[in-house]
């Protein structure tokens, strides 16, 4: 069981140079991702004079997030693993692939990266609103919760298959592309319903800067539940105890 491999970490891990570097990598990767993703939405609003959402706008959002995440994962992969998502970090923790203390460092860095990106966007655009995630008309919180669970399941399942699985082989080379593509595809599927976050940090930054918290809990609960299911399913069904690569000794 993956749960048996959960590691808390040592007290000194939070100040270990490798952990600090990894946290900074997550911060900058998240800043890159949110600045491009949220910025594309703000650019669309400016070009359409705050017009209503259109299919072309949804496609633009899908492409901008897919491209930005591909880059953000790629530039952080060799330092932090390129999580760029608290839900991915949570899934990695449940599978015993990262300690709790390092996961907390990642979460702090990811949330700060998102907030800083939104602050920079607001300043650079002359005060344009960084729109928080919200539910579309006719979509209930339970509809949105299911969307977030299923979409994040697909994302974290993809992460496990392409980066965590020790049997991944050459598939690991295309991991950033696969991760970016599944996010882009999920935005096409769920973007018109709840914005398709799949990432608590991506929702957190705009919510802080715009100070809009309506139904915000959905964008935490859904991704975390989806990530947990994906991690436990993939780890227990396809990796198993015999094939699992243990954490480096200094992570315990």
Distance CA 158, CA 164 (A): 9
Q: Where are the domains of the chain?
A: 7-247
DSSP letter string, 105-146: HHHHHHHHHHHHHHHHHHHHTTS---PPP-PPTT--HHHHHH
Phi, psi of 100 (to 5 degrees): -65, -40
State the pLDDT at residue 4.
Answer: 62
State the pLDDT at residue 249.
Answer: 38
Nearest Cα to Cα of residue 201 among 85, 73, 105: 85
Residues in the chain where the model's pLDDT stays below 50? 1, 246-252
State the pLDDT at residue 246.
Answer: 47
State the pLDDT at residue 242.
Answer: 57
State the pLDDT at residue 10.
Answer: 81
State the pLDDT at residue 3.
Answer: 57
Query: pTM here?
Result: 0.92
Distance CA 213, CA 122 (A): 18
Residue-wise pLDDT for 99-132, tens only, equals 999 999 999 999 999 999 999 999 999 999 888 9
Distance CA 41, CA 57 (A): 8
Distance CA 69, CA 196 (A): 14
CATH 1.10.3720.10 fits 7-247, yes or no: no
């Amino acid at each position: 069981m993956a749960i048996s491999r959960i590691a808390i970490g040592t007290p000194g891990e939070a100040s270990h140079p490798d952990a600090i570097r990894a946290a900074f990598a997550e911060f900058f990767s998240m800043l890159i991702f949110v600045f491009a993703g949220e910025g594309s939405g703000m650019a669309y609003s400016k070009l359409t004079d705050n017009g209503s959402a259109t299919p072309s706008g949804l496609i633009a959002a899908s492409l901008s997030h897919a491209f930005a995440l591909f880059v953000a994962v790629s530039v952080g992969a060799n330092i932090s693993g390129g999580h760029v998502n608290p839900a991915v970090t949570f899934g990695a923790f449940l599978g015993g692939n990262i300690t709790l203390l390092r996961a907390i460092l990642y979460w702090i860095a990811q949330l700060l990266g998102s907030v800083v990106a939104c602050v920079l966007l607001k300043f650079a655009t002359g005060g344009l609103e960084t729109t928080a995630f919200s539910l579309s008309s006719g979509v209930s919180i339970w509809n949105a919760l299911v969307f977030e669970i299923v979409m994040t399941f697909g994302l974290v399942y993809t992460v496990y298959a392409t980066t965590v699985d020790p049997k991944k082989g050459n598939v690991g080379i295309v991991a950033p592309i696969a991760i970016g593509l599944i996010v882009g595809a999920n935005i096409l599927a769920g973007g018109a319903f709840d914005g398709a976050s799949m990432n608590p940090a991506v929702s957190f930054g705009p919510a802080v800067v715009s100070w809009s918290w309506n139904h915000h809990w959905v964008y935490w609960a859904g991704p975390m539940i989806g990530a947990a299911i994906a991690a436990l399913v993939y780890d227990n069904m396809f990796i198993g105890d015999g094939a699992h690569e243990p954490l480096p000794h200094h992570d315990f």
